[in-house]
Structure 1
Amino acid sequence: MTASNVVHLRCAADYLEMTEEISEGNLIAETESFLTQTVLKSWKDSVKALQTCDNVLDVAERLQIVKRCVDSIATRSCSDPDLFGWPVAHYGGPMQSPGGSLLWNGISTGARPRNSSPDWWYDDVSCLSLPLYKKLISAMEYRGISQGVIVGSLNHYAKRRLPGLNRRKSIGDASNCLSMTSLTSIPSEDDQKYLLEEIDRLLPFQRGVTSCKLLFGLLRTAIFLKASPSCVSNLERRIGMQLDKASLEDLLIPNVSDSVETLYDVECVQRIVDHFLSMDQETGGASPGIGEDGQMLASPSLMPITMVAKLIDGYLAEVAPDMNLKLPKFRSLAAAIPDYARPIDDGLYRAIDIYLKAHPYLPESDKEELCRVMDCQKLSLEACTHAAQNERLPLRVILQVLFFEQLQLRSSIAECLMISEPLDGGGGFSRQLGGLPVSGEHLRGAGWPLAARENQTLREGMDSMKQRVSELEKECFAMKEDIERLGRSRSAGKSRFPFALAAKPHVCGTKDKEAAPESSKSETSKSKAAAATRSDDKLAVVKGGAAAAGDGGPQLKHRKHKTSLSAC
């Protein structure tokens, strides 16, 4: 009688009614004694006996064999393994000395030190069938075992039974997982789907207990196996609760839908972000406070949503080259993140630039609509420099970037001037800096070289800004001249047709002949005056728009004189 056949013998004895009333020392008494005295006192034998209950599950449950084995395993899994004897891993591993690595006389036994980590029993119970494993997990939860240990066991069990979870592993990990799955036959897709849905029900619905790696692996497998919508929704909600702990690789979920031709499942990521934002609003971390100066106050609750914003910007840059990704989906995901979650919009600008490069045939209106998601005021100096020279951006966005860049330069110049003004006032002037009086002589000796270098840098920036504005002015004037040239050519083409003008024959007298030159002269002067007025108005508009970028007076006067001469 062994642990592998005692359950079947006990069930057969019950079926044959081999009780003590018929014969003393009958099979029922013998099997019960062996179960109680030998099997249930050993971890390894308890697992073996429970594993053999699958074929006679109904009878084993009626005879309380399953319950007794589950209680024995659950009790020992919650205890220190040194108290009841070390279990043999994989049923035949290296033996451990019960007395330790040293005997009483100091002689080494050659036994290796034991590893008493809380996950020592994961591999032993992963050989159980799903119904028996569920009973074991319920018994462990009843005895108060930690949620993290249960999640670790579920993770090990899922990796052993679901081959799809091991596709993104390294070569070494994948070989280990394949050796684990080779112990049991690979279940069918329907069995895997049922197993996945049951594991989703067993996972604790608590933030931070289950790792994002496991949740994303289960979600990919659920989408591939076409699991129930409730299972997919639960996994997405679990991920949304801790999206700030995910990585960019986790978000790259391949699209297996036949209706959508995109490479990655953007809609799934959109739903996960929506779950995170709804959870963030419920916990009170939805928006920062506003100070008296209008600046946003820093808050510890902003850290998760800031990390999510950076993560989504990286994801947008990764999916932007997809030609099949439609603008509404890309814009919706980019606009889902609140403005306060992005301290700087460089990542979003990079994603938008990649999308515009991959979709060069977008209309100008769609480009402007996409760029409205980006705040030009939150671009760094490097991003502003790149955007000002980016031909893929709409002209309106480029002008906004130049305008806000000039505002930043002006504010920086104003701050430097405020620092340098006391330096010119002599040693008698002093002001407060950080609550301490600081004299002009002290500032001249300490901060004057730094202020001079900053002023020089700002002057160079202003010069480059003026040069870019002048180039934009030239392009604007060239475009307007082309438009006027097209208008004149169209009017000249209409005048070629004889039916376009209706001439009235009349006899001209001498007075009419004398008045004709005068009237033609007056009409010519009026047309010249009107043309000059129009050119002055256009130059005034352009001058007013370019005034924000720097002093362009001499260039504008020269262009004004040149345009008036061309009009004449």
Structure 2
Amino acid sequence: MACMKLGSKNDAFQRKGQAWFCTTGLPSDITVEVGEMSFHLHKFPLLSRSAVLEKLIAEAEEGENGTVVTLDDLPGGSKTFELVAKFCYGVKLELTAANVVFLRCAAEHLEMTEDYGEGNLIHQTETFLNQVALKSWKDSLRALQSCDDIVSFADQLQITKRCVESLAVKANTDPNLFGWPVIERGGPMQSPGGSVLWNGISTGAIPKNSSSDWWYDDASTLSFHLYKRLISAMDARGMRAEIVSGSIAYYAKRYLPGLNRRQGSNDAGSRVGPSCLTSPPSEEEQKLLVEEIEQLLPVQKGLVSAKFLFGLLRTAMILRADPNCISHLEKRVGMQLDQANLEDLLIPNFSHSMETLYNVDCVERILEHFLAMDQAAGDASPCSIDDGQLMGSPSITPITMVAKLIDGYLAEVAPDINLKLPKFQALAAAVPEFARPLDDGLYRAIDIYLKSHPWLSESEREQLCRLMDCQKLSLEACTHAAQNERLPLRIIVQVLFFEQLQLRNSIAGCFLVSENLDGSRQLRGNMGGSNEGGWATAVRENQVLKVGMDSMRMRVSELEKECSTMRQEIENLGRVKGSSAWGNVSKKFGLGLKLKSQMCSAQEESVSNQSNGVSGKAEKVKAKRGKLKKNV
């Protein structure tokens, strides 16, 4: 820390308890009381330097203990007046960034101008402040920190503003442009051979590269009202919003311990702040800080990580912050919901009036904010659907990522027995249909909910299952659903139908690929391609086709068995005519049984034709392979 020495005399002050004495050999003729401390001094050195002290001494009455003067509201108190007294006596003292603000304010308060001696305290402190302290990042920071205790006096003299402006300029400038060690906070200099200067002398070292967040830790040591002024000054000077937001996030992590519980080592947006404090703020102070941080953060999307925003929202709920603050944080989170992960969404329910383990209502509000923003931005691009088939597959867009995230969240909260069916349905239905390329995640969540809520009626189960589209289930999901006893019978029949439809399309696609391969192979042969290369390619294609056909045959055989079993069950039900069981079944599924029988017959015929087609195609491929082999 830079300093400036004042005075030349040896220290002639001695402290005894709560009193200071000047040991010059002359008896004291005045007592100056500052707070609880008494200074037994001499009149002439004081009145010759200060207009205020001259006036007080003239007005003071002589008492039994001599003249007594009381200084009320002196900036810096007794510690600062000790330095002022030494300056008046010409005793050696050091002017530093830590005491210059106190001395500058005290000198102004005591009117220690040039009219009372050349090089008086106002001039000395002002010179040191402008020419030394404000030229250095470290000294400017230390001077600003000292303003915290006498901010009203410092503001009157524009000291706080000058310190803030000095820091804002230095933080907004690449420190590598000035050479090491302009920052005065790093380790030893490295890499000999550079041209860095220190006090005009080449050190033979080059500076370490500094990132844009080098000042985060230093700025976080300021009290919040000074930190806020520093951030405002940086913003006014055009500092990039992402750098400012990173500093705010760093500051929040330092003074809100709850934010560090789930922060990863690679959290985007800022470095991880200190994990502990010597004296953590109280809950009330943390609550006020959360509300201030929310207002200070820029509103643009993506300036801080979604994880940080979720942590801030969770902390605000725990501390029971202002409802407007929580609402604004939910909107901020909604803007970046596509950047969140499942762990972020698992916000515990901190309200005693709500029975669910997780705050599902909060997630639903966040989703609504995201959908409103996505709709306003025009990012939604639903896929066209024709004849029960998806004609297009949406790319990975923010809304598809959010749909997958919400499906995962539904599966996570589904085991909660206190989660009511309407709330589960409302959150699942809030995601647009076009946002889900596949409904496998939604099916999984519905299955978990049905397993955890076995008391649901048949109508409630059907109502819940209508949330998913059986046409958008993968073959694996269809296979699982066809054997799932928790699903209503009507849903299982739909799943079986669409599963066969997908299988038929897959077989047709396989044959189409095979024909294209044969055509391209003939084209390569006509163009004079190598026979040896064509034979090797044919062998590989034949192996791939054989594996695919074997798999198709196994699946066709399984479907034939399922259709035969279903037909046998329908025939067994038909033999129970006149009984009450048949009456109930025919009443509920009379039309359905006829359709099922017809569907099974059609499916068996389709499967048989497809099997014959597969065999025919295989023979055709073998004939072509033989012809190619003969040519070779």
Smaller-chain TM-score range? 0.7 to 0.9
The Cα shift of 1:400 comes to 0.3
Write the distance in 2 (CA, Å) between the matches of 1:152 and 1:23: 49
Write the distance in 2 (CA, Å) between the matches of 1:171 and 1:145: 26
Give the alignment of 1:170-181 within 5 angstroms: 180-181=276-277
Aligned equivalent of 1:404, options 498, 503, 509: 498
Q: Could you say which structure has the higher helix fraction? A: 1
The Cα shift of 1:121 comes to 0.8
Asked if structure 1 preserves the Cα contact closer than 8 Å seen for 2:107 and 2:121, the reply is yes
**AA partner of residue 183 (structure 2):** P
Give the alignment of 1:25-424 within 5 angstroms: 25-82=119-176, 83=178, 85-89=181-185, 94=187, 96=189, 114-169=208-263, 180-182=276-278, 185-288=279-382, 290=384, 296-297=391-392, 303-414=397-508
**AA partner of residue 335 (structure 1):** A
2:83 maps to what in 1? none
The Cα shift of 1:127 comes to 0.7
**AA partner of residue 369 (structure 1):** Q
SS in 2 for 1:53: helix
Coordinate RMSD, CA, aligned? 4.0
Write the distance in 2 (CA, Å) between the matches of 1:99 and 1:541: 87
SS in 2 for 1:398: helix
Write the distance in 2 (CA, Å) between the matches of 1:372 and 1:122: 52
Asked if structure 2 preserves the Cα contact closer than 8 Å seen for 1:402 and 1:549, the reply is no
Structure 1 pair 96/550, CA: closer, same or farther in 2 (3 Å)? same
Write the distance in 2 (CA, Å) between the matches of 1:203 and 1:488: 68
**AA partner of residue 319 (structure 1):** V
TM-score (norm 2): 0.68
Asked if structure 2 preserves the Cα contact closer than 8 Å seen for 1:44 and 1:87, the reply is yes
Structure 1 pair 68/314, CA: closer, same or farther in 2 (3 Å)? same
Write the distance in 2 (CA, Å) between the matches of 1:331 and 1:191: 40
1:547 maps to what in 2? 601
Structure 1 pair 284/437, CA: closer, same or farther in 2 (3 Å)? farther
Q: Is residue 19 of structure 1 aligned with residue 73 of structure 2?
A: no
**Structure 1, residues 161-211: CA drift from partner, whole Å, max 9, x if none?**
1111112247999xx9566522xx211222111111111112111122211
Asked if structure 2 preserves the Cα contact closer than 8 Å seen for 1:388 and 1:402, the reply is yes
The Cα shift of 1:382 comes to 1.1
Structure 1 pair 542/53, CA: closer, same or farther in 2 (3 Å)? closer
SS in 2 for 1:114: coil
SS in 2 for 1:278: helix
The Cα shift of 1:86 comes to 3.2
**AA partner of residue 245 (structure 2):** V
TM-score (norm 1): 0.76
SS in 2 for 1:550: helix
1:505 maps to what in 2? none
**Structure 1, residues 258-313: CA drift from partner, whole Å, max 9, x if none?**
1212222111111111111111111112233649998545666x521111111111
Asked if structure 2 preserves the Cα contact closer than 8 Å seen for 1:164 and 1:221, the reply is yes
Write the distance in 2 (CA, Å) between the matches of 1:485 and 1:129: 84
SS in 2 for 1:210: coil
**Structure 1, residues 517-549: CA drift from partner, whole Å, max 9, x if none?**
xxxxxxxxxxxxxxxxxxx99975653353354
SS in 1 for 2:98: coil
The Cα shift of 1:29 comes to 1.5
Asked if structure 1 preserves the Cα contact closer than 8 Å seen for 2:190 and 2:205, the reply is yes
**Structure 1, residues 242-263: CA drift from partner, whole Å, max 9, x if none?**
2211111211112211121222
**Structure 1, residues 4-38: CA drift from partner, whole Å, max 9, x if none?**
11111122222222222233322222211121121
Q: Larger deviation: 77-86 or 26-35? A: 77-86
Structure 1 pair 246/110, CA: closer, same or farther in 2 (3 Å)? farther
1:565 maps to what in 2? none
Write the distance in 1 (CA, Å) between the matches of 2:378 and 2:591: 54
Q: Is residue 471 of structure 1 aligned with residue 525 of structure 2?
A: no
Asked if structure 2 preserves the Cα contact closer than 8 Å seen for 1:403 and 1:548, the reply is no
Aligned equivalent of 1:4, options 95, 98, 120: 98
The Cα shift of 1:68 comes to 0.3
**Which ranges in structure 2 are unaligned for 5 or more consecutive residues?**
1-94, 527-533, 584-589, 607-632
Q: Identity over aligned residues, as a percent? A: 55
**AA partner of residue 333 (structure 2):** I
Asked if structure 2 preserves the Cα contact closer than 8 Å seen for 1:262 and 1:322, the reply is yes
The Cα shift of 1:97 comes to 7.9
Asked if structure 2 preserves the Cα contact closer than 8 Å seen for 1:86 and 1:96, the reply is no
Q: Larger deviation: 385-394 or 262-271? A: 262-271
Write the distance in 2 (CA, Å) between the matches of 1:26 and 1:357: 85
The Cα shift of 1:331 comes to 1.6
**Structure 1, residues 310-363: CA drift from partner, whole Å, max 9, x if none?**
111112122212222111222222112112111111111111111111111111
**AA partner of residue 247 (structure 1):** N
Write the distance in 1 (CA, Å) between the matches of 2:151 and 2:487: 69
Write the distance in 1 (CA, Å) between the matches of 2:347 and 2:250: 22
Structure 1 pair 119/486, CA: closer, same or farther in 2 (3 Å)? same
**AA partner of residue 413 (structure 2):** V
Asked if structure 1 preserves the Cα contact closer than 8 Å seen for 2:191 and 2:206, the reply is no
Write the distance in 2 (CA, Å) between the matches of 1:452 and 1:170: 49
Write the distance in 1 (CA, Å) between the matches of 2:140 and 2:352: 48
The Cα shift of 1:157 comes to 0.5
Asked if structure 1 preserves the Cα contact closer than 8 Å seen for 2:576 and 2:582, the reply is no
The Cα shift of 1:551 comes to 5.2
The Cα shift of 1:160 comes to 0.7
Structure 1 pair 477/259, CA: closer, same or farther in 2 (3 Å)? farther
Asked if structure 1 preserves the Cα contact closer than 8 Å seen for 2:196 and 2:207, the reply is no
The Cα shift of 1:154 comes to 0.7
